Structure 1
Amino acid sequence: MKNSDKPYVILNAAMTVDGKIASKTGNSQISCDRDLDRVHRLRSEVDGIMIGIETVLADDSELTVRRVKGENPIRIVIDSKGRTPSDARVLDDSAPTIIGSSELIKDRDKKRLQSLNAEVIITGEETVDLSSLLQILKKEKGMNKLLLEGGSTLNWSMMKEGLVDEIRIAIHPTIIGGKDAKTLVDGEGMEKIRNGIKLSLMNTEKVGKDIVLTYEWGNQDND
């Protein structure tokens, strides 16, 4: 997908063989050590990292480059109602933080987040207008490449709107099961397989115990 009005978006995720990105209790420590090195190297190569508020609340991610040399990218949190806790690590001073919010955010939460040196960008009435936010990140913040480390909900929203250009998935040789365990995407989903989002496999790589698959947004062959 080519869209010069937004950053190039890479969705990166680790999942089990049965497609789970977290266990039924929310544990998401899936990647092997070598894959974590790969992820941090990827972080060092982008202008920003995007996650959703549920990931902040579940993992308290810092979203910095620690395992390789490189500068910390700008952190973007999709948080429609301004629920990011004041003590969240994503608000520390290790990197700038942008909160993408909607008109549902209360003024006190907006001011609270701004007082913690986070920039609040409001797009959308009840949910964040992701397309508009990405355009702002490109045109006003100069972001050309963005890493999406979202959970099931944000991943689906970004893919449904056609805002993802590349997908990198590390498959860890484990099966955990659980009907309540999160998968790579959720949302309403497609009614038929033929209506699914089409991807083209660009590369496969063995990284430690894991296999990393790289897909480009695009049409599949019919064979």
Structure 2
Amino acid sequence: MDVSQTSEHNAQDSLDVSMDTFSNMVQILNALGNDDSLAIFMYTANGIKSSKQAIFDLGLTQKRFYSRLKDLIDVGFIEKDSGTYRHTSLGTIFYKMGLSLMSILENKERITLLDQLKQTMSLSSSDLDTIKSMVSQGSSDISGVLDLVFFSSKKEKIEMLPTYDKLVEKLVTEMSGTKRTILLASRYVDNRVIDSLLKVANKGIEFKVIMAKHDLEDKM
């Protein structure tokens, strides 16, 4: 029995998709699964009128270029129209998805920090929106991913505080008693909170802060 076929069937069964859909996804991932293919695919966004120029710009040999180009044509991402290689409708969709993915990867460190932040037990709805705004930086793609992955369930864990002073008091109390890493995301700078952070830092406790640069500069 072919082990690879067995693994493919097991994965397909667990995803509850048709075998054709699963096979198409495998073909697409294979077609995009190397630097040459991905470079050609992204380059084709503006159309390729001259293969010679594309080969030069991408730094590929003719053999590598046409071999990878054929793979992209076979999966339905690229077509030749009136002498110009262009994205198909399917290719355009995946191209835009690729741009969104690259935007997310550029913010990988911030999103990794959110893995830790989402474990925090008490975050107000306003805090969640502030975190999302600072990390996404206006990108609707990143904002949508954050909503889906981090905030859909987190909004069920909200502690409401009646005043700003109560919020600061709560923060200072929590920080003074903690023995673990402090993760703070806010658009405000309060001297009482800063003093508490300095005190816990002197105890050797690590802290990380997410804050919009312009908000910090306004307070300095």
**Could you state the TM-score of these two structures normalised by the residue count of structure 2?**
0.24
**TM (normalized to structure 1)?**
0.23
- Counting helix residues as a fraction of each chain, which structure ranks higher? 2
> Which protein shows a greater Rg?
2
